[in-house]
Amino acid sequence: MNEPFGPDGFPLRTDDPLAEAHACLNAYLQAEAQREAARTPLDAKTWKKTPKRLSIDLIQAILIRLAWLDQHDAELAAAHVDRLRLVQLLRILYTIKLPCAERDLRAMLALTTPLLGRIAPYGPVECVTVYLETHDLTRELCDALRTFQASLREEMSTGQAAMQSLRQTLHMLLWLDEWEPLDPARCWSECIRRDFRAMDGERRDRWRRLLKHVRGNAPPRMPAGWAREAEPRLADVGIDDFRQQFCTWFAPFQSGQPLPLSVAGSHVLKGLLWYGALTGEADVKESALGLLDVKWKQKRNTEKSMVALGVFGISKEELRARQLIKPEAPSRIPRIVEQMLSAKVSSAADRIVADDDGDVVIVQGELHFYRVFRSTGRIERATDDAVLELNWSAVPDQLRLIVHKECDSPNQVRLRAGLLMHDSVFGRFFIATPGSPKRYGPGNAR
């Protein structure tokens, strides 16, 4: 008979459709506790051999448990440890190319959306891109992607470049939403969406396959692998059909009228230029070069698409001469060296100083000064005498491994002082309440 609760406290139900996955997670959490105690490395290969359907269920079960652990964080002393272990397994499962059904993707997106401040956001979208290699978007999947996009947060990104790539991918996926109302004022590319939706039968299917291949996170130059995959899609559409549509869609560039361009539209423009270069047709090139005279309403979105004219032999130097892209930025190295040589190094010894009696530590933060009492752990903000306490629910799981919920040791006092020294970053992990100054600690005022 199954235990009513998992080792993390999660309540188990025998009639749960994910019961097998939860049983695997129970065993995993128990094994992780033993492995960490023995200080042995995690063997990810075993999980990569898990049956694909079970792996998909494991992802959903992990997301459900992470949400439950968040909801019951205040009641569970080790919730952060279990979350870290589950996130570790989640990363491994997302490296597997899984045959997700549309309902699986919607479930992943919906379960991940409320967790976006806690876990990395990339996995579900990567699963959607794999799905699109052999399937098409649905209205419901587009709705789930749009909700996910609106909830994205920077906290759990692995870096600015990775988050930018994710946002670009989402922009392009949602440009492919065939059920979103058209808005010509939004972007020049709305004419492509309009004409595509007017197509029917096999022609529409062929154009959909071509447009799905346009990437939001494509590099500046056309990759050889992208061109190899594009050529059969272009052949399916047909050179004549592509040429006619391309010249029609690019004709407004020579109108002299300012045109709107969205982020997604800039990706579409770049992708069509690459496709146009593959045709080798003179009239396609002539239409493409109309971009040199185009007027855009949103110039911030144009640079990448302009650089894509390189496939037709237009250099960056020529684009800069026409003021179509920004001048090349001067080297920052001399300035960085100058700043390094002139900078005053500020260490903890400069900004954390003990008071006369040794009980009060004065901390110079980036925004405020603080008094930290070694004997009691009390923290006061000197500017307004507010009392600060650690907001445990806001502390990330990784930080919880070293910062305790209670200030119960000299080391915890030092850690809190270190956080407050960088209060512009870590100040959000504290709650301030009005207080009165207690210069020498509670009960010792002079």
Q: What pLDDT does 169 receive?
A: 96
> What's the pLDDT score for residue 322?
67
Minimum mean pLDDT range among 141-155, 210-224, 286-300, 376-390: 286-300
Q: Residue 275 — very low, low, confident or very high, per pLDDT cuts 50/70/90?
A: very high
Q: What pLDDT shows up at residue 30? A: 95
Q: What is the pLDDT of residues 216-260, one digit of tens each?
A: 988 888 999 999 999 999 999 999 999 999 999 999 998 888 999
| Res 335 pLDDT > 60 | no
149-158, 263-272, 314-323, 404-413 — which is least confidently predicted? 314-323
* pLDDT band of 345, cuts 50, 70, 90: very low
Within 8 A by CB and 6+ apart from 109, the residues are 124, 128, 144, 145, 147, 148
Residue pair 261/188 in contact by the 8 Å Cβ criterion: yes
Averaging pLDDT over each range in 299-308, 352-361, 434-443, which range is the top one? 352-361
Average pLDDT value for the chain: 88
Q: How confident is residue 300, by pLDDT bands cut at 50, 70 and 90?
A: confident
Q: What is the largest CA-CA distance in the chain?
A: 91
Kindly tell me if the per-residue pLDDT of 130 is higher than 50.
yes
What whole-number distance in Å separates Cα of residue 299 and Cα of residue 278?
A: 27
Residue 443 above 60 pLDDT?
no
Q: When comparing pLDDT for 81 and 383, which is higher?
A: 81
Alpha carbons 159 and 217: distance in angstroms, whole number = 15
pLDDT score recorded for residue 341: 44
In this predicted model, what pLDDT tens digit does every residue of 397-414 receive, in sequence order?
888 989 999 998 999 999
Report the pLDDT averaged over residues 95-114: 97
* Range name among 28-32, 129-133, 139-143, 395-399 with the lowest pLDDT average: 395-399
Burial of 299 (0-12, 13-18, 19+ CB in 10 A): middle
Q: Is the pLDDT of residue 346 over 60?
A: no
CA distance from start to end of the chain = 65
Q: Is 227 helix (H, G, I), strand (E, B) or coil?
A: helix
| Domain extent listing, the chain | 19-153+162-171, 190-321, 349-433
Looking at the predicted structure, is the pLDDT value of residue 339 above 70?
no
More confident residue, 97 or 383: 97
Query: Is residue 446 over pLDDT 80?
Result: no
Tokens in use for 253? Answer: 């560039």
Q: Which of 5-9, 60-64, 339-343, 432-436 has the lowest mean pLDDT?
A: 339-343
Percentage of residues in the chain having pLDDT higher than 90: 65
For residues 83 and 62, give the distance between their C-alpha atoms in angstroms, rounded to a whole number: 9
